[in-house]
Amino acid sequence: MSIKMENAEIKLSGKDFASDQEVKWCPGCGDYSILKQVQSTLADIGVKREDTVFVSGIGCSSRFPYYMNTYGVHSLHGRATALASGLKTARPDLNTWIVTGDGDALSIGGNHLIHLLRRNLNVNILLFNNEIYGLTKGQYSPASPKGTITKSSPMGSLDHSFNPLALCLGADSTFIARSMDRDPKHLRAILAEANNHIGTSMVEIYQNCNVFNDGAFFTFTEKATKGNTTLQLEHGQPLIFGDNRDLGIKLDGFKPVVVALDESTSTDDLWVHDESDQVKAGILTRFFDIPSAGMTLPRPFGVFYKESRSVYEEDVAIQINQAIEIKGEGDLNSLLAGANTWEVI
Amino acid sequence: MSIKMENAEIKLSGKDFASDQEVKWCPGCGDYSILKQVQSTLADIGVKREDTVFVSGIGCSSRFPYYMNTYGVHSLHGRATALASGLKTARPDLNTWIVTGDGDALSIGGNHLIHLLRRNLNVNILLFNNEIYGLTKGQYSPASPKGTITKSSPMGSLDHSFNPLALCLGADSTFIARSMDRDPKHLRAILAEANNHIGTSMVEIYQNCNVFNDGAFFTFTEKATKGNTTLQLEHGQPLIFGDNRDLGIKLDGFKPVVVALDESTSTDDLWVHDESDQVKAGILTRFFDIPSAGMTLPRPFGVFYKESRSVYEEDVAIQINQAIEIKGEGDLNSLLAGANTWEVI
Amino acid sequence: MVETKEEKKTVTILFAGDSGDGMQLTGSQFTNTNALFGNDVSTFPDFPAEIRAPQGTIAGVSGFQLNFGSVDVFTPGDNADVLVAMNAAALKASLLKLKIGGTIIVNLSGFDKKNLRLAGFLNDENPLTDSSLGKYRVLEMDVTKLTRACLADTGMTVKHIDRSKNMFVLGVLYWMYNRKLDTTLDFFKVKFKGKQDLIDANTKVLTAGYYFGDTSEIFTSRYEVKPAPLSKGVYRNIMGNQATAIGLIAAVRKANLDLFYGSYPITPASDILHELAKHKNFGVKTYQAEDEIAAICAAIGASFGGHLGVTTSSGPGIALKGEALGYAAILELPLVVINVQRGGPSTGLPTKTEQSDLMQALYGRNGEAPIPVVAPCTPSDCFDVIYEAARIAVEHMTPVFFLSDGYIANGSEPWSFPLAKDLVPIKVKKLSAGGDDEKYRPYVRNEKLVRDWAIPGVKGLEHRVGGLEKENETGNVSYDPANHELMVKLRAKKVANISDTIPDQNIEIGEDSGKVLVLGWGSTFGACKTAVTELVKDGVEVSQAHVRYLNPLPKNLGDLISRFDKVLVPEINDGQFVKLIRDKYLVDAIPFNKIMGIPFSSQEIKEKVLEILG
Amino acid sequence: MVETKEEKKTVTILFAGDSGDGMQLTGSQFTNTNALFGNDVSTFPDFPAEIRAPQGTIAGVSGFQLNFGSVDVFTPGDNADVLVAMNAAALKASLLKLKIGGTIIVNLSGFDKKNLRLAGFLNDENPLTDSSLGKYRVLEMDVTKLTRACLADTGMTVKHIDRSKNMFVLGVLYWMYNRKLDTTLDFFKVKFKGKQDLIDANTKVLTAGYYFGDTSEIFTSRYEVKPAPLSKGVYRNIMGNQATAIGLIAAVRKANLDLFYGSYPITPASDILHELAKHKNFGVKTYQAEDEIAAICAAIGASFGGHLGVTTSSGPGIALKGEALGYAAILELPLVVINVQRGGPSTGLPTKTEQSDLMQALYGRNGEAPIPVVAPCTPSDCFDVIYEAARIAVEHMTPVFFLSDGYIANGSEPWSFPLAKDLVPIKVKKLSAGGDDEKYRPYVRNEKLVRDWAIPGVKGLEHRVGGLEKENETGNVSYDPANHELMVKLRAKKVANISDTIPDQNIEIGEDSGKVLVLGWGSTFGACKTAVTELVKDGVEVSQAHVRYLNPLPKNLGDLISRFDKVLVPEINDGQFVKLIRDKYLVDAIPFNKIMGIPFSSQEIKEKVLEILG
Ligand SMILES: Cc1ncc(C[n+]2csc(CCOP(=O)(O)OP(=O)(O)O)c2C)c(N)n1
Ligand SMILES: Cc1ncc(C[n+]2csc(CCOP(=O)(O)OP(=O)(O)O)c2C)c(N)n1
Ligand code: SF4
Ligand code: SF4
Ligand SMILES: [Mg+2]
Ligand SMILES: [Mg+2]
């Protein structure tokens, strides 16, 4: 019983998904680009505006729904995932997107996030990770590397940060991916893949907060460095990267190693990306931590892992149908009367 | 700056750790055994009663502190981890134990749990997993396998369950282990190891709720089946199990496979347990899910993973000392006066 | 054997035994049989917080009190006429509740050395053998032994056999009160379906108990409690939580809505979840959330999606919902919030009853966020009041609080249930298409100040809602000072307006003016009604009014109150509703409080009324 | 150039510009200089919720109002004498706050086509060129151009240069009010330490502004605001949140305790966390928790461990703490809970002020869990009141609510700060060794009904605490009905007893009886005081009393109130404290409410008083 969403009759453009509200992020904020890519991806997908809902929590990123000319819910801090779970269970027919920040999703909302992932409702989560609390003017978040100096940590934060995608994988997420604000094409492609996945799609998006954490991801997003620091994952393809695509990743046992692609090493020796391999996906999420022999591992982008598992809201619908099959459609009068009645005359 | 706990002058026995309160679990409940093992382990460790604190949430398991003749806090549902984090940050000198249930830790308390794990305070978490809500009289928990029939799921639960240890590993836990109520010796050994680990020690304990979920773990705990269904992890030792210790686990790439130990396969071919290998620990936590060629994988018990990482409350203390070194011990009069004053005469 | 038959108007029986003794089952079977016979019935189960507290101890005692009569009964009885004590601890824990001169039926093997010790009797002390029970009539029988004997040849284990001993006692009581065994025999057939041996065994024991009454010499009389003059109609027996659950289903059916029930288990509210989970064939979606916050947020999400979102908890869980309640209030979406109150503060007394969450319901969130509050006053009233809660929620686009409590939730009474067709209609105004406006304006209001319910999927109604202050009509985020004041006032007025749609406050008993008004709310109803009825009979100038709508209050309440010299407000808390009354009407209303986790007795109310009359 | 010098008693200046224009900095520099000069000062910053709302728009306007005088000032001023408008939007948003006849200093380049359009002026409409500003004196200068010219040869980029334009305006104002530049020049040295080019550039622009005032012909007069007759002493300027932070440090120092501060960021409370994080050399442990629940639970854990646990939030975050608050109350551990209130309900108006969380503080949790509530009335009063909160928490073993608000938190005033040695001592009664009892009984109480603080690590005091009802004295779990009532009453009495240790309520202004009493709490203090002072001068029979202790209330409050014909309760909410007064004293207290996210003006209070006098 898979739920089909109807497509729009008239082809809409990205602009048709923009609401009439003035966008109020800081000039230069990475959120602008993400907004644009989401709008044009929705147009590409061809979903109807009235069948689409954006649910967010609280944070700069969570202002997102106001800018979408769809249905929208700006919920409470950390609760977008919880609210969307109810909405999607009630209304499996709605194309549901959750927009959240690293504070919203990982700090106050961490529990609802992992529970949504395990239940695997068919929704898309866009986690705008800027490694900072933007809206409250710059405190460290659970995604900020230890030692980050902020208003609330003038001597450096002391909390070991989460590895967001590793956490999600630990919570039995069925789809994890990473993209960034500054690569529109990549972002659109990942958004489309997320939308296609049946189940909870978790997309971490590196987003620059140019006011409180400017340049947190510049090594991965700027031309000068990006080639050697990022790895584009493609299913079935060997892990190759580098400005000249002359570097690759090999597995030495369970340890990823960066190798130069020259006479002695061919692409055949390289690790071939397999989206369905949970263990390897786990290693990829840990490319932060693992010190590779002599060389820093690049940061992977793309779809790390994808798994097909039944979807909560469908199971709910199926169980209701089963109940009706077994007991018959509920009859209110019998329910009111119960099993034992007597009459007073 | 590692914190040393003083040991008791007089050797105490397990009974010395029992409070005067009547134990009020159902007759036959697995909690009794755990209580006893904890009491005797504390005696073995030689910690002082007055330096020891048990913090729990709400649930049958969470009544634990009342039965310990130490300091104790029976907190709120899901909040033991949060409360203990404050206590341990304030008082790094206290030997701190958290007792929690699968509902308490994984349902309402999921967020505080994963945040405690990443912060890595030096405390021990005992998660009594009975795959049910005991105290509220039998609803399914996030640890109950999908399809579990309970009062709140008369047609079977629809929520995919957490893999508790995989979740903890995803949250960057520095110590994860599993034991059971029905193997006192094993449990005591693991408790002692947990206590020795500097950092948050996460111990999942399979516990039988004989009233609402009787026998959930009998295949692993009862003599008749236990040999072939359980795997005892020992650091540096090959993965051997079976009634006659004639079965082993081999890795086929990243896939664990059960092999018979005969002429063709020797123990040298087997996977050797390495507590420091996070990737392999991840595979071990997934022994639920991975269907091994033709044979069910045994359930591992013991220490899965152990890592040394700095401890939050020590970092806090260090930072305070640094602040004092740099600025000098705070002077209240200067603080009151601030930087700019003027006098009215 | 001489058999005298004594007629009784009402009888109160208290079954008390160990948690494992099946007293709840015994009590409810006896209740059902009496109800079906035609008595009016009221019950009150009282069990320990532990699943199975240590056997034989006071902490482990589980009680079930029921009051049945040939006249209307409004409470489970102040004091018991008969106490069934399955062991020494049960006797010790319950004796205070027995009337002087009352009957004690004791299970002799529950008074052996071990049991006496566990119950805390000192060395060799035994109430059965010393004179301490002199004021009562004690009927001893060795239930355990008799049951074992009865099933000796079945091949069952002793442990299994002992589980049936409550049925022996039940049989004895059926004999005493001259009741048929049919209801319970039918019950065996359903409960032990497919296990004929168990059906046979229980039938055997029940019948044995009945004949034991008949043949043994220890009983000198049987009692007759005739059917009560209940109004004509078809009746069933119903518990409060059950009534709440089916009330919700009835409401969504009549409103043509789907029900989404987001909840996290907590005593004494969980049974509503359990009941609803049985009725999936009504399309009910029960969602066991990861916590109370997730539960209410999911329910809000479902309401945004066009379902009736409902969420339930008890005190501590409700405390967690405060932020989301304010959110639901500012969104102006329908939501029903059920609080089955228990003893507080904090974790408090999980299985005991209390009315101490009224202030939390009225004020427990940040900012100005008034929410309607309604409270049922008896188990069956839960049906009517939850139905009203649902009606108000969807007709006025607002969260609504339903304040039940452990006493009502677990209590039961006969209920002349309605027919589906006779339930008042619930008018839902979901928009089915976009309007003429180019941009849909979600916060445009009708004459009652209620906005429309615009549900995703409808073209032309795309809109965004959120917790920031909204511009009037458009709903766009607005920081405009004057707009904020306007919106706060509009939301408050919308809730206040509900008083136009609710009935005037009535006088339950007594004249509509006089010396004392007993003004209650919630589960004190029965005790107040019994007390005032008796006082009025005695010629005391006292009346009773009982409030079901706590916010907004009925329009005529101030006027009604003003016609009495004194106003007494009994509550199972430290004085909460009384604050509301004093603030609102500036009358020196007198608080009367009991904070013991147990209901008032009607006697206590009577005495208090007489006391303030001087 | 003719220079006239006009003497002024008080002057109110409103700096308004784009969020990026540095108005907050300009305002606080001007404040500090005036304060150091000896004026009495009161300030009120008002900024948008967005970090940087769209440039040039009304939503992006950031304002800073300050009132300084040669007499006592109690508010940031009802209306401004001078409005600094850096662009068209700032003018449009702020004009209403300017007095008729007031002065507007405009930055001409902020009124170009683009800015006019962004501010929402229609085609070709320009307030500077049409007659719409006829009622004001407009002083135009092209600040942007002048600043650029001034730094043209520094090689700085235009973007960087433009950042200094606020300093030009500040220089002009220093000239207008005849102030020295020293304080600000010193500030540059600290702020731009190590960046000599920036120090130089800002110095240049500030000086240029000053000389511009001196030489340009547009100013006809300078003003003189003499030092205020502040009481003798040493002063500093202080903001409310800052005073709160250092008050906490002072309290733990005097109590010889360690401070554990568990918090989760939220506007407008976060600055307390930021301030405390700067003072780790006082041993302060700041803990940025994962959410508000974790923050309060961690603080409770720290209190159990013997620290003073403190937790802070604003409305929505406080709502999340309800369950844990009841828990702290039943544990009877010290805990300070700070709510810096903002506009509600729900997410509401995050950067605006409101007093609408009083009921939440009093009642926002399940069960009977009374908690003391105190509220500061000015920025510097935060110090005294948080100190009191800490004292009450540790001396009475209870959580204590401290209700500040956005207005006080961000406002500032001169403060005659105390010496450490003059602070009242705080008596902590931590037990240092086990007693004679074999079993330590943690809930034994002293004559004030306060239990001891027994801290882990001490031998012989091992004990367990929890949220279930406790047996009196032993603290063991108890379901005993009478014990529950006893404990509820004991806890309530313990809190009520605090009224013995707090000062009687005083009359702030006016006679101690009369026609009208203006009875306020919290941040309405200044407006009420100004209003009543002026009315009294005019011979009106009105007095002011301002309550800092909201629970328990001062013992004499009822008596005090009863001596007035009418009681007016002004609040920045829909009427909350007034409910308490009506309930408690049965007087027909009159609510006076403003729910606009902004404070009362003294004029509003005056008018209301006159209105009710008829
Ligand atoms: C209950 C509650 N707690 C705290 C806040 C304050 N708050 C608003 S947004 C936010 C964090 C925002 O960080 P993030 O989610 O990373 O979003 P960003 O602004 O960086 O996009 C916080 C702490 C709130 N609004 N509500
Ligand atoms: C805030 C709150 N929500 C719900 C409850 C009810 N409650 C008590 S224990 C429990 C679950 C217990 O399950 P678990 O943690 O697995 O412990 P167990 O009883 O199985 O040992 C629940 C839901 C509560 N006490 N407080
Ligand atoms: S504060 Fe940061 S995240 Fe927020 S809008 Fe500005 S740049 Fe973007
Ligand atoms: S309900 Fe289950 S877990 Fe709880 S005490 Fe009984 S057997 Fe143990
Ligand atoms: Mg962020
Ligand atoms: Mg459990």
Q: Check residue D213 and give its pLDDT.
A: 84
A120 backbone φψ class: left, alpha, beta (φ>0; ψ -120 to 50): left
Contact status, residue D138 vs residue D128, Cβ threshold 8 Å: yes
Which H or E run includes B227? helix B223-229
pLDDT(B6) > 80: no
Q: What is the pTM of this model?
A: 0.94
pLDDT tens, residue by residue, D229-280: 888 999 999 999 999 999 999 999 999 999 999 999 999 999 999 999 999 9
Examine residue C76 and say whether the peptide bond preceding it is cis (omega within 30 degrees of 0).
no
Hey, is the C-beta of B162 within 8 angstroms of any chain C C-beta?
no
Tokens at B83, concatenated: 């409360």
Q: Which residue of B has its CA nearest to D280?
A: B320
Q: Supply the CATH number for residue B162's domain.
A: 3.40.50.970
Q: d(Cα C309, Cα A123) in Å, to the nearest integer?
A: 20
* Interface membership of A309 toward B (CB under 8 Å): yes
- Lowest average pLDDT, out of A112-121, B112-121, C10-19, C370-379, goes to C10-19
User: Looking at per-residue confidence, does B27 or C168 come out higher?
Assistant: C168
Looking at residue C55, its pLDDT comes to: 84
The per-residue pLDDT for range D475-508, each reduced to its tens digit, is: 999 999 999 999 999 999 999 999 999 999 999 9
CB contact under 8 A, A107 and D266: no
Instruction: Give me the residue label for tokens 């959930």.
Output: B216
What residue in C sits closest to A330 (Cα-Cα)?
A: C282
Residue D493, C-beta contacts closer than 8 angstroms, at least 6 positions apart: D449
Per-residue pLDDT at B96:
98
Touching check for B279 and chain A: CB below 8 Å? yes
Has residue A321 been placed in a domain? no
Do residues C132 and C47 lie in contact, with contact meaning Cβ atoms separated by under 8 Å? no
Nearest CA to ligand 2 atom 4: C266
Most trustworthy range by pLDDT among A216-230, D103-117, D547-561: D547-561
Q: Does any domain span residue A270? A: no
In a domain, A338, yes or no: no
Ligand 3, atom 2, lies closest to the CA of A209
Question: Does any domain span residue B184?
Answer: yes
3 state SS of C197: helix
Residue D3: band (very low, low, confident or very high) from pLDDT cuts 50, 70, 90? low
D363:C366 CB<8 A? no
User: For residue A232, is it within any domain?
Assistant: no
Partner chains of A (3+ C-beta pairs under 8 Å): B, C, D
Q: Residue B333 belongs to what H/E stretch?
A: helix B332-337
Among protein residues, the one with the nearest Cα to ligand 4's atom 6 is B26
pLDDT at B9: 64
User: Residue C60's pLDDT is what?
Assistant: 87
Measured in angstroms, how far is the CA atom of residue C291 from the centroid of ligand 2?
10
B2, pLDDT greater than 50: no
In this predicted structure, what is the pLDDT of residue C2?
47
Structural domain contains residue B194? yes
Long-range pairs of D480-486 with CB within 8 A, sequence gap ≥ 24 = D481/C352, D481/C596, D481/C597, D481/C598, D482/C596, D484/C343, D484/C349, D484/C352, D484/C595, D484/C596, D484/C597, D485/C594, D485/C595, D485/C596
Is A24 contained in some domain? Answer: yes
Distance, in Å, from the CA atom of C505 to the CA atom of C551, rounded to the nearest integer, reads 13
Share of chain B above pLDDT 70, in %: 97
**Is the minimum distance from the CB of A23 to ligand 3 under 6 angstroms?**
no
Residues in contact with B321: Cβ distance below 8 Å, sequence separation at least 6, in sequence order: none
Q: What pLDDT was estimated at residue D153?
A: 86
Nearest residue of B to residue A110 by CA position? B111
Give the residue, C556 or A254, on which the prediction is more confident. C556
- Sign of torsion, CA C549 C555 C558 C560? negative
Dist CA D109 CA D116 (whole Å): 10
Task: Specify the range with the lowest mean pLDDT, choosing from C263-277, C471-485, D130-144.
Answer: D130-144
Predicted confidence (pLDDT) at residue D8 exceeds the cutoff of 70: yes
- Whole-angstrom Cα distance, residue D107 to residue D85? 6
Report how far residue C53's alpha carbon sits from residue C427's, in angstroms, rounded to the nearest whole number.
Answer: 49
B202 within domain boundaries? yes
Centroid of ligand 2 to alpha carbon of D379 (angstroms): 43
Residues on chain C touching B137 (C-beta within 8 angstroms): 51, 267, 270
Q: Which residues line ligand 4 (CB under 6 A)?
A: B 25-26, 29, 31, 60, 130, 134, 209-212; C 51-52
Indicate whether residue B133 lines ligand 2 (CB < 6 A). yes
- HSE-up of B99 (CA within 13 Å, CB side)? 24
Q: What stretch of H or E contains D23?
A: helix D23-37
**Residues A47 and A7: beta-carbon distance below 8 Å:** yes
Label residue A320 by pLDDT band (50, 70, 90): very high
Q: Is the CB of B58 under 6 A from ligand 2?
A: yes
Index of the ligand 1 atom closest to the CA of residue D265 = 23
Residue of A29, A98, A130, A135 best suited for mutating to test ligand 1, as the one with most atoms within 8 Å of CB: A135
Which atom of ligand 1 sits closest to the CA of residue D317?
Answer: 1
Kindly state the tokens that stand for C68.
Answer: 């049945």
Instruction: Inspect the interface and report whether the beta carbons of B73 and D464 lie closer than 8 Å.
Output: yes
Task: Round to whole Å and give the CA distance between C370 and C396.
Answer: 13
DSSP C484-549: HHHHHHHHHHHHHHGGGGSPPPPPSBS-SSEEEEEEEEGGGHHHHHHHHHHHHHTT--EEEEEESE
CA distance D408 to C268: 43
How many A from CA of A68 to the centre of ligand 3?
18
Identify the closest residue of chain D to A21 by CA–CA distance: D54
CA of C61 to the centre of ligand 6 (A): 24
Domain membership of residue A207 as a residue range:
10-221
More confident of the two residues C139 and B325: B325
Residue bearing tokens 């991840």: B282
Looking at residue C258, its amino acid is D
- The reported pLDDT for the residue numbered A77 is 98
Q: Is the pLDDT of residue D433 over 80?
A: yes
**Model confidence over B101-133: pLDDT tens digits?**
999 999 999 999 999 999 999 999 999 999 999
Q: Which of A111, A340, A343, A345 should one mutate to test binding to chain C, selecting the residue with the greatest count of C CBs within 10 A?
A: A340
Half-sphere exposure of D21 (CA within 13 A, CB side): 35
B172-220 pLDDT per residue, tens:
999 999 999 999 999 999 999 999 999 999 999 999 999 999 999 999 9
Which domains are assigned to chain D?
Answer: 4-224 (3.40.920.10), 236-422 (3.40.50.970), 429-501 (no CATH), 514-613 (3.40.50.920)
- Ligand 4 centre to CA of B209 (Å) is 5
Q: HEC states along D250-269? A: HHHHHHCCCEEEEECCCCCC
Residue D188's SS3 state is: helix
Q: How far does the CA of residue B181 sit from the closest CA of chain C (Å)?
A: 19
Chain A neighbors of D278, CB-CB under 8 A: 154
Angstrom CA distances, B311 to B125, C419, C513, stand at 15, 65, 71
pLDDT at D558 over 90: yes
Provide, as residue numbers in chain D, all residues whose Cβ is less than 8 Å from the Cβ of A25. Answer: 50-51
Cα–ligand 3 centroid distance for D350 (angstroms): 16
Q: Give the chain B residue whose CA is nearest to the CA of D244.
A: B336
- Mean pLDDT, chain C, integer: 94
Chain D CB contacts of A208 below 8 Å? none
Q: Is the CB of A31 under 6 A from ligand 3?
A: yes
Domains identified in chain B, total number: 1
Report whether pLDDT(C197) > 70.
yes
pLDDT of residue D377: 97
Q: Rounded CA gap, C362 and C151, in Å?
A: 57
Is D307 within 8 Å of A183 (Cβ atoms)?
no
With beta carbons less than 8 A apart as the criterion, state whether C367 and D357 touch. yes
> From CA D199, how far away is CA D217, in angstroms rounded?
29
Chain A positions touching D53 (Cβ under 8 A) are: 24
Output the pLDDT for position D437. Answer: 67
Which of C358, B127, B162 lies closest to A170, judged by CA? B162
Q: Give the neighbours of chain D: at least 3 Cβ pairs within 8 Å.
A: A, B, C
pLDDT in tens, D304-345: 999 999 999 999 999 999 999 999 999 999 999 999 999 999
Report B:4-43 residues touching C (Cβ under 8 A). Answer: 22-27
Q: What is the predicted pLDDT for the residue at B8?
A: 52
Chain A hits for B286, Cβ within 8 Å = 278-279
Q: Which residues pair with D464 in a beta bridge?
A: B72
Would the CB atoms of B86 and D457 count as touching at under 8 Å? no
User: What is the per-residue pLDDT for C487?
Assistant: 98
Strand-pair partners of D509: D544
Report which of D303, D267, D266 is spatially closest to residue D285, judged by C-alpha positions: D303
Contact residues for C351 (Cβ-Cβ < 8 A; gap 6+): C46, C47, C48, C49, C267, C268, C342, C406, D479
Which residue's C-alpha comes closest to atom 8 of ligand 3? A29
Q: Distance between CA D285 and CA B90 in Å, rounded?
A: 8
Mean pLDDT of chain B: 94
Q: Which of D276, D362, D285, D280 is nearest to D553 (CA)?
A: D362
Note the pLDDT of residue B293. Answer: 63
Q: How crowded is residue B86: how many other Cβ atoms within 10 Å of its Cβ?
A: 31
| Ligand 2 neighbour B130 (Cβ under 6 A) | yes
pLDDT of residue A2: 43
